[in-house]
A = this chain, B = another copy of it.
């Protein structure tokens, strides 16, 4: 009979307080009960350092709520998704829920596997940044964030990618630019596609970039897509700027691509001659010379909205799936205001 440091259970508390198990359960769950008993029970709890086993409680309880949710992002290490995670966690904590975070690394197989692992832990719901080949939602309430799911009509919270791109290009046009280059990442990504759409939609009808639009082709001297990472963006930007009749302004549609373009402009000594507006904000953007004008997203807001929507579903909201759109903000710092 070892005096092992077993965690105390309700049974231990009941024994010490000289009451029955169910009385302890009720008191622990907020039922006042007889004051003297409640007091004895509380004393026993303090003495033993008892803490309720939340998992066992979930198993038996009628609502079966685990007070935990899952968050599936491409990569928590990415500052953008980290900010989304922060927003989700904030709302979850308000609700007394904890958040299990997992990174899919944009791999659909891993995404499915992780969703299953989270479901097996009986999370009450899931917030998901879907990968390209995302499967349908699991058997648990799911809200998609940052990108819409591919094959399902489901709750979704998105950034206004189209509107942000329009704002960026309109801003550049207002400063006299007519030849505006576009650099974007994987065009299969919803975000990238929307930003390109916004760019194209903001150009005047007889624009070179739009010439072949009806034929599905884009002017490669102005538009470059499917750039993966900042090195690729650097090369593409250099090529664009060194070409014949180069653009007088650039719209870079993603984080790392903006970084690559900034480096390219500096490498060519053009940072004060060619205008630049990037999508998504960066630390130090204001310390550059010139300061970097960006269309800022609100990732924390994105996460909060997704979590709120999820909890409303968990609470039983049975309305039609809905999509919320979070606006962007144009942050003017210099690079976007270079006139033609």
Pairwise interchain contact B139-A7, C-beta atoms closer than 8 A = yes
Pick from B83, B114, B121, B288: contact of A288, CB below 8 A.
B288
- Contact partner of A101 among B55, B59, B101, B262, CB < 8 A? B101
Residues from chain B with Cβ under 8 Å of A101 in the complex: 76, 85, 89, 99-101
Cα–Cα, bound, A70→B5 (Å): 21
**Nearest neighbor of A110 in chain B, beta-carbon distance:** B93
Q: Does A339 contact B (CB under 8 A)?
A: no
Q: Residues of A within 8 Å of B, CB-based: how many?
A: 57
Q: What B residues does A300 contact at CB under 8 A? A: 77
Q: Which residues of B contact A85 (CB under 8 A)?
A: 76-77, 82, 101
A140, closest chain B residue (CB)? B7
Q: Decide if B283 touches A259 in the complex (CB within 8 Å).
A: yes
Interface pick from A36-44, A46-54, A148-156, A189-197: A46-54
Using Cβ atoms and an 8 Å threshold, which residues of chain B touch A143?
Answer: none
CA distance A259 to B284 in the complex (A): 6
Q: Counting CB contacts under 8 A, is A86 at the interface?
A: yes
The CA of A87 and the CA of B6, in the complex, are separated in Å by: 31
Contact residue among B7, B52, B77, B139 (Cβ-Cβ distance under 8 Å from A83):
B77
Complex CA–CA separation, A76 to B299 (angstroms): 13
* Sample of 5 more A-B contacts, CB < 8 Å, known A51-B120, A99-B102, A283-B283: A66-B121, A82-B82, A100-B101, A263-B286, A263-B287
Some 5 contacts from A to B, beta carbons below 8 A apart, are A7-B139, A66-B121, A76-B82, A76-B85, A259-B284
